[in-house]
Amino acid sequence: MKALILGGKGQLGTTLTQMVPSSIACRSLDLPEIDVTDAKAVEAVVGDEKPDVIINASAYTAVDRAEEEVDLAFAVNAAGPKNIARAAKQTGSRLIHVSTDYVFDGTACTPYLPEAPCSPLGVYGESKRQGEINVLDAVDDPVIIRTSWLYSQYGNNFVLTMLRLMKERDEIKVVADQVGSPTWATTLAKAIWKIVIKTDLKGIFHWADAGVASWYDFAVAITEEALACDLIGKPIPIHPITTAEYPTLTTRPAYSVLNCTASWREIGVRPVQWRVALRHMLETIEGSNQGDMNTGK
């Protein structure tokens, strides 16, 4: 089987590239090799590669900046998936498209099922939802996999930001009234590669690590686990605040927990509790730091 990853330099794309199963030949591309907003460029690359499956991990993820860069957000998150889907249609390639919990408005009080109505609150969520629609309209039987609160040891994400702030500050304030499910890119990548191999899967899936947390809960866990891994030198007080006390350009969903029960079963990968996944991720950073010390870097 031949796979093509688009958005290969992002945190998910990087993780997917590092976890390619031995039975799959894979090429991973990102800017400048390919610009997903350029329909002709996408058509040319996909036409040359003729992959059995395309994994679209490309995305504009700057949630607040999207409110000011509307055209760019829609170009990457909506037009990009349309270009990829049309190219996949021409080559008969299967398409796996990665989306987000931000397609929901956060007014629910129980986890969102894949078939729940979408009602995004801001430009980021709107552009990602339009990308889903474009994929569903353009290609037969795609896989759309929504995830939430993604983090890894790569790129820019909440965990790495918290680790940096814990080294720079004596205390941190974090929003406590937004609830979701933190998800390690490694567990998501495992699920995606399982979907690749299980060629009969199609439709919309939800994937997040098990359990729920507020951003405050998440930050407290990062502090405790980072201290246990010797990534920070002392406990850092984390203070809960409300969303109103931390205004941003976009309105974020107050509750964006995804119901992943059916997806966990159909994909066939056992879920990991989010704090266990966080510990494993921080241990990879600890191991990397130890390796740098051993090599003198």
Q: Which residues pair with 56 in a beta bridge?
A: 6, 97
Strands 213-214 and 179-180: antiparallel
Residue 119 structure tokens = 């009602």
Q: Nearest-CA neighbor of 36 among 109, 88, 1?
A: 88
Strands 94-100 and 172-175: unpaired
Provide the 10 A C-beta neighbour count for residue 63. 18
What residue type is 277 in one-letter code? A
249-292 pLDDT, tens digit per residue, is: 999 999 999 999 999 999 999 999 999 999 999 999 976 665 45
Q: Using only the alpha carbons of the chain, give its radius of gyration.
A: 19
Residue stretches of the chain with pLDDT short of 70: 287-297
The pLDDT > 90 percentage for the chain reads 94
Q: What is the pLDDT of residue 286?
A: 76
Q: Which positions are catalytic? A: 124
Residue 172 structure tokens = 């941190």
Provide the 10 A C-beta neighbour count for residue 254. 17
Q: What is the pLDDT of residue 288?
A: 67
Q: What is the pLDDT of residue 296?
A: 40
CA distance 59 to 7: 7
Sketch out the chain's domains with CATH numbers: 2-156+183-210+256-272 (3.40.50.720)
Provide the 10 A C-beta neighbour count for residue 97. 29
Residue 168 structure tokens = 């720079």
Q: What is the pLDDT of residue 1?
A: 95
Q: What is the pLDDT of residue 291?
A: 46
Q: What is the pLDDT of residue 293?
A: 39
Q: What are the backbone angles phi and psi of residue 204, rounded to the nearest 5°? A: -100, 130
The dihedral sign for the CA sequence 21, 24, 32, 185:
negative
Phi-psi sector, 119: left (phi>0), alpha (psi -120 to 50), beta: beta
Between the CA of residue 124 and those of 64, 85, 120, what are the distances in Å? 8, 20, 8
85-113 pLDDT, tens digit per residue, is: 999 999 999 999 999 999 999 999 999 99
Q: What are the backbone angles phi and psi of residue 68, rounded to the nearest 5°? A: -105, -20
Q: How far apart are the first and last CA of the chain?
A: 38
